[in-house]
């Protein structure tokens, strides 16, 4: 199993750089969207809501990939692919943590009271990157 280096993990966890996550539709075609992203204990995470396309597609096929690119340097990026695990446990806290990281807000400001949040955890099977001299 592949692992993030410390520099790659910090690049994802310490910077408010968005990621492009790719899941697979039922017909096998890719579905890519922009997400807030974090990394902890070697796992890359993002948050979505139950019922959204990403969540539905991952329940059907857990393969996922996410790429985070430095917004001012396209030659520094990390891409992680592997199986995704979905959990609602801690997902409300995670979206608030991400709102703090990306918006400087203590709570996610666009939260709908009717949605159920879900954390997606991607365990790296493959890690590619550039711009990290290690």
At residue 113 the predicted structure's pLDDT band, cuts being 50, 70 and 90, is confident
Q: At 105, which CATH number? A: 2.30.110.10
Q: By three-state DSSP, how is residue 39 classified?
A: strand
**Domain presence at residue 54:** yes
Q: How many CA atoms lie within 13 A of 15 on its CB side?
A: 17
**Domain presence at residue 40:** yes
**pTM across the whole model:** 0.93
Range of the domain at 60: 6-130
To the nearest whole number, what is the mean pLDDT of the chain? 95
What's the domain count of the chain?
A: 1
Interval 55-82: pLDDT, tens = 999 999 999 999 999 999 999 999 999 9
At residue 120 the predicted structure's pLDDT band, cuts being 50, 70 and 90, is very high
- Of 1-5, 44-48, 80-84, 107-111, where does mean pLDDT reach its minimum? 107-111
**Domain presence at residue 68:** yes
DSSP state, residue 41: T
**Domain presence at residue 1:** no
Q: H/E element holding 94?
A: helix 91-103
């Amino acid at each position: 199993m592949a692992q993030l280096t410390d520099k790659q993990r910090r690049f994802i966890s310490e910077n408010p750089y968005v990621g492009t996550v790719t899941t697979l539709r039922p017909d096998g075609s890719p579905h890519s969207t922009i997400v807030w992203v974090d990394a902890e204990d070697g796992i890359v995470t993002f948050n979505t809501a139950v019922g959204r396309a990403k969540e539905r597609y991952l329940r059907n096929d857990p393969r996922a990939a996410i790429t985070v690119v430095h917004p001012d340097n396209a030659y520094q990026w990390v891409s992680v692919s592997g199986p995704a695990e979905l959990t609602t446990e801690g997902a409300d806290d995670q979206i608030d943590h991400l709102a703090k990281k990306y918006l400087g807000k203590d709570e996610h400001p666009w939260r709908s009271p009717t949605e159920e949040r879900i954390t997606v955890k991607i365990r790296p099977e493959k890690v590619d990157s550039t711009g990290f001299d290690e």
